[in-house]
A and B are shown apart, each in its own frame.
Chain A
Amino acid sequence: MTLQLRFFTDAEFEIVSAAAERLIPATASDTANNHPGARAGGAIDYIDRLLGAFAVDPPLVFAGGPFSGRAGGTASFADFTPLSPFEELAWRTRIEGSSGLVEREFNGPVIGWQERYREAIAMLGEDFTTLDGEEQDRRLGAQPEFREMLYTHSCEGLYGAPEYGGNPDGSVWGAIDFPGDVQPRGYTDDEVSGRA
């Protein structure tokens, strides 16, 4: 854990890490590229920033542009962009739930991700981190919808841009041999057409 937590408690962070690690484990350390597991790949830091997006202003929803600085240009991804009122409505509803507010319930009530994570963590149990893998899988398997959401969010964290909180310094991109964002440098014609 390298970043300051915005939503999870330390204990919750440990439980979600253990759960996500079952879905995305590290490769054996003797493999050539060594893909980190969900925790070291920053998945939970990413999820923490998603669930705590509105703890800062502008909220951590849309990274800035046009360049990250990794391929030249001035680094601007880390300057998150302000949301329009409707975007704020959508993202608050998704994250916080509709909480009985009429403007969020035009198609009915919505349970937010914060609540879904907290409930799922409670069901995984305080002892989750001490269990063996098989029992952890069983408890995760009892909540298939949560498992799917956790997996999707973990993939976003690991393989998305580092400015969203995961993929520390692009290390996961390195492991899977993906160069990430490349503007403004781009690729030469030879790099596009050649085998190498």
Chain B
Amino acid sequence: MPSPTGTTDCDVVIVGTGPAGATAAEVLTAAGWSVIMLEKGRNHLLSLEAPFDPLGHVSNDEIKFLRRHYLGPDPFLEPRTFRRRESDGDRLFTGDVNNLPSTVGGGGFHADGKLPRFREVDFHARSELGPIEGADLVDWPFGYDELEPYYAAAERGVGVAGDHTENPFAAWRADPYPMPPGPDMFCALLTSDAATKLGYHPYRAPTGVNSVVFDGRPACNNCGFCGSFGCPIDAKGDPVAPLRHALRTGRCEIRTESIVHDVVMDSTGRRARGVRYLDADLVEHEVSAKHVILAGGAFETPRLLLRTGLGNPDVVGRNLMFHFQTIVLGVFPYRLHGHRGRSVTHLMDDPIVPDDAALAAARDAGLSYFRGGIVEHGAAGHPVTEGIHLPRGAAHSQMMIESMMRDRMAVFTMQGEDLPVASNRIDLDPHVRDVYGLPAGRVTYSPHRHELACAEHWAPRLESVMREAGADFTFWTTSPPMEGSFADRPGFVAPISRHIIGSARMGTDPSTSVFDPWQRLHGVENIICTDSSVFPTSTGYGPTLTIVALAIRAARALAGLDPLRSSGPAL
């Protein structure tokens, strides 16, 4: 379809430059459309002039990235608030709540990029596995088979390294990964060998990091400042790859430090004319466009919808999901040098596919089943973080030398499936404001007993794996902390999960969803959303590859391109 004509500033304006927005920009510029991207954060990712090289801002620097909010959002400028339930009052906490970077590239900038696909059953868990009381579980409006070619396109676009033969629980796929896996971390070799011995099925994580030169970018050199840092050498594919592809067409303009605060509608209320944004001097601008794409991430997109009054008011912001993280720590008698490599090199899906023991534990908890999530075989953090977590006083310095909380620690993180619950939601805080004067986003969230029972079942099993791997000492905790547990302290009540999902779900019925199955806002002709707000369920997998696959699908449909078709299950 030719690009839409008329007298607007561009064919499409995209709010946000993370994986969701960048992917849409890549697809639409390739189809000949002109795109303006608005990003509220600064640009540290790539030069906006050809040949779009790295800017050299990214470095192996724990202070800048983990202590000083270099990639934004600064919680002083853009606070968010949190409470567990309405009876807590207006809020329990103000500050950093599930903050993903606010910068060109969004959260893709500092993710370490494990990019697995979902499984077939994830798209119709409600009809295959049954409802769960207290959760608003729904099927997705389409299945895995339809999405498979988009997953393949996403893996090629971002550049995913992996081995398709290793995970016995993986969904079918037509093609192998575009790159072989990168090197295994020593600690993950220990823990994955132990897991195999105990009957589990670890595999090398499909990762959006180059293991070889790919798409003109170098192979990863294993610097270890990976998860929560940017990549100084551009070896991480998302979202450098799609943004660079979009910029190279000459049809993509990125405006930074530009926060969209309003969507401009025509008099019928059924068409958007564009958006309004504030620049770094708080001067207001308007961009007119034939289409508006919302890609601010699953926290900011519902916040924008709530501010503008767009979308089904009974659903916007509700069914907010994270991953319920079960974190199992093992202290080893020797050093594991977890600071070398890509933060996490192995995963396992066993908790996603309930076995007899898991089904029995679920029944004991009054549930017909529960499903956990991928278990990431990873290492501990960096030394400032270790120091802050160790006790102060006489023992501190010797403990830093012995490094039981860093160099001798292996970490499992289970990204447990979080069920949709209508009372878990994002709304607008009644008092707290951001620096732009806009109401802060507020999270009201407490886990369903499905998540709690699943964590209690899997934590001791994962501790056994740690001990089998050689750990002398193990313990576990969850995020968010279980109420009443040792980790349940003021200031630590909000989940640290950076997987934010479901806050404006898609579906066929406008009375129970916000977007349609092509991610178009119900009742409005020209607004689509390409981020994980639209996911009906969280599944037990990282969301980002699915965000990218869905964004390719929705953007292709918007541009009138033919749907992608798969050659069918070959592997």
A-side residues, CB < 8 A to B, are 22-27, 31-33, 35, 37, 61-68, 76-77, 81, 84-87, 89-90, 93-94, 106-107, 110, 147, 151-152, 155-156, 158-161, 164, 173, 175-189, 191-195
Contacts and interface: CB of A to CB of B under 8 A. Distances in A.
A94 B76 contact: yes
A90 B74 contact: yes
Contacts of B54: 66
Nearest to A180: B60
A187 B185 CA distance: 11
Interface string B416-449: 0000000000000000111101000000000000
B392 A151 contact: yes
A156 B385 CA distance: 8
A132 B356 CA distance: 62
Contacts of B58: 65-66
A184 B312 CA distance: 50
Interface string B336-349: 01011100000000
A156 B67 contact: yes
A27 to B, nearest CB: 5
Count chain A CB atoms within 10 A of each CB in B221, B335, B387 and give the residue with the most.
B387
B67 A160 contact: yes
A176 to B, nearest CB: 5
Nearest to A166: B63
B64 A62 contact: yes
B384 A195 contact: no
Given A35-B400, A37-B397, A86 B232 contact: no
Contacts of A185: 221
Contacts, number: 177
B184 to A, nearest CB: 5
Interface in B379-399: 382-384, 386-388, 392-394, 396-398
Contacts of A24: 392, 396-397
B516 interface: no
Given A27-B401, A86-B74, A193-B184, A161 B341 contact: no
Given A62-B68, A65-B57, A192-B183, A158 B387 contact: yes
B331 to A, nearest CB: 16
Interface of B is mostly: loop
B499 to A, nearest CB: 26
A77 B186 contact: no
A63 B42 contact: no
A41 B74 CA distance: 28
Given A35-B401, A87-B74, A160-B62, A65 B56 contact: yes
Interface of A is mostly: loop
Contacts of B183: 189, 192-193
A77 B68 CA distance: 15
A190 to B, nearest CB: 8
Given A63-B63, A66-B58, A178 B384 contact: no
B49 interface: no
Given A159-B387, A161-B61, A65 B340 contact: no
B77 interface: yes
A45 to B, nearest CB: 14
Contacts of B185: 192-193
Interface string B196-234: 000000000000000000000000111111000000110
6 contacts: A147-B392, A159-B383, A175-B400, A177-B401, A181-B59, A186-B220
B407 interface: yes
B403 A192 contact: no
B407 A177 contact: yes
Contacts of B61: 63, 65, 77, 160-161, 181
A86 B403 contact: no
A155 B385 CA distance: 8
Interface in B66-118: 67-70, 74, 76-77, 79, 94
Interface in B322-354: 335, 337, 339-341
Question: Which 5 A/B pairs are nearest by Cβ-Cβ distance?
Answer: A186-B221, A65-B59, A181-B60, A155-B387, A35-B397
A189 B397 contact: no
Contacts of A156: 63, 67, 384
Count chain A CB atoms within 10 A of each CB in B77, B186, B337 and give the residue with the most.
B337
